[in-house]
Amino acid sequence: MTEKLSTAINSESLYEKQLQILEDILEGNNSRSLKEAITHCEAAAQEFKKIGSDEKAEEFTLKAEQFKNRLQQGSRANS
């Protein structure tokens, strides 16, 4: 029970840190920032999967897909 509680607390702390980092990255909102956000989201998703937090892993996977779409839209607009 204590181990599960510890994992849950660590998961929530990691989640909050990941969201803050994403907000910081996206302030630039350029292709480099989007690429960094994609990389970060994918890494965060993997970390959440490792600790068994599938819901948060899925959330970061979806965020990565959203950023990929924004990056593609931006590159189409520039061409």
pTM, rounded to two decimals: 0.71
Where residue 61 falls among pLDDT bands split at 50, 70, 90?
very high
Q: What is the tally of structural domains in the chain?
A: 1
Query: Does the pLDDT at position 38 exceed 80?
Result: yes
> Rounded to whole angstroms, how far apart are CA atoms 24 and 18?
10
Lowest mean per-residue pLDDT among 6-10, 18-22, 58-62: 6-10
The answer on pLDDT for 59 being more than 60 is: yes
> pLDDT band at 77, cuts 50/70/90?
low
Helices (H), the chain: 2-26, 31-50, 54-78
Average pLDDT value for residue range 45-65 = 92
Residue 18, amino acid: Q
Residue with tokens 């910081």: 24
Domain containing residue 34 = 2-78
